[in-house]
Every structure is written in C-alpha cells, then in structure tokens.
Structure 1
Amino acid sequence: MAALAWLLIPLVAAVGAGLWGSWAGRNRKTAGDGVELAGYTRFREAMERTEVRAEAKEKSHSDAH
C-alpha cells in the first residue's frame, strides 16, 4: 500500500502539470501589437526631440563663447 502511495505522487504531479500547461497555453484574446507599437513610436519621437534640444543647447552655448 505504501508503494501505491509513492506511485500516486508522480501521477498527481503529472496531471497537475498537464492542467497547468493547458491553462498557460490557452489562446487569449489580445489587442495585438498596435498599442505597444504606438507607445514605442511615441517614445522614439520623444527621444528624438530630446536629442534635438540637447544639440541646440550645446550649439547655443558654443556660439555664445
């Protein structure tokens, strides 16, 4: 009987792993990549504006001297 109990442990673990795997791999309805790509585009544009401002500041400081 003790051997049967020890055999049930891996069986229960395998069933649990199978259930978790099927739950984790389910198809989820997502909005797609549009939201993330739009956010990245805004980030990239903001970084470009920051670089332009930094270059303008450097240029104005070098012109003043």
Structure 2
Amino acid sequence: MAALAWLLIPLIAALGAAIWGGWAARNRTTGDVTELAGYARFREAMEKSHSGSEAV
C-alpha cells in the first residue's frame, strides 16, 4: 500500500502541473481589447479639449 502512495504522489503532482500550465497559458486577449478601446476614447477626449483652447 505504501508503494502505491509513493506512485500516486508524482501522478497527482503531474496532474496539478498540467492543470496549472493550461491555466497559465490561457488566452487573455479580451482585456487588451477593452483597454485599447478605453485608451482610444481617452485620446479623442484629450484632442477635443485641446482643439479649441489654443490659437495656433
């Protein structure tokens, strides 16, 4: 029985590593799209606020 326990420990560790590796490598591009859209709105707002304030 002890031999079986020693064989299960690396198996459980490998399974946990595989799950963690899959989670760490997941696709997270949706947050970037939202942030880039917010940055574009910020730039547009800044251009609007400066367009009428200076007479160049």
* TM-score between both structures, scaled by the size of structure 2: 0.54
Structure 1 segments of 4 or more deviating over 2 A? none
Q: Which residue in the other structure is 1:44 paired with? A: 32
SS at match of 2:15: coil
**Structure 1 residues not aligned, in runs of 5+:** 1-14
Name the % identity.
7
The separation in 1 between residues aligned to 2:47 and 2:41, in whole angstroms, is 10
Higher alpha-carbon Rg: 1
How many residue pairs end up in the alignment? 43
Q: Which residue in the other structure is 1:62 paired with? A: 50
Q: Which residue in the other structure is 1:53 paired with? A: 41
* TM-score between both structures, scaled by the size of structure 1: 0.48
